Amino acid sequence: MALKDKKQIQKNHSFKQSFTHACFGIYRIFKEERNMRIHTSIAVLVIFVGWLLQITSSEWYWVMACIGWVFVAEVLNTIAENIVDLVTGKTYSELGKHIKDMAAGAVLISACFAGIIGLWIFLPKIWLLLIH
């Protein structure tokens, strides 16, 4: 029986069950959220460029932390949107709109911060390649 067919109402009984539910949640986000797929594509590109430019291990730390931060922000945004939709149904709610806007703003802030860190790491290396 598929995971989506089971109607679990109790706490997970094992690590395996918790892990399975977590993986299904990640699958749903990638399947349903276009922005998560965009963030993933950008992350893959950034990792590839980091590999090409041979960034240092401390720079890798910052790159991976920023990628993780943006992913978590996108997940929390999706959670907020789904909770608002669950509570309001098809009824417009000004408070629901504010919640969704704030959650989207958190993603924007994290993506801008990641972009600034990316520029800080990559621009000097790209500049050196261009002038030599």
Residue-range domain boundaries for the chain: 27-124
| SS3 state of residue 63 | helix
Residue 94 is labelled as binding a ligand: no
pTM: 0.86
The torsion angles phi and psi of 59, rounded to 5 degrees, stand at -70, -40
Higher per-residue confidence, 111 vs 12:
111
The answer to whether 101 is a known ligand-binding residue is yes
Residue 74 among known ligand-binding residues: yes
Does 74 qualify as catalytic in the annotation?
yes
Instruction: Give CA separation, 32 vs 26, 36, 93, 119, 127, in Å.
Output: 10, 9, 23, 30, 38
Percent of residues, the chain, with pLDDT higher than 70 = 94
Residue-level pLDDT at 1: 46
Catalytic position from the list 32, 59, 74, 94: 74
CATH of domain 27-124: 1.10.287.3610
Does the structure show a pLDDT above 70 at 5?
Answer: no
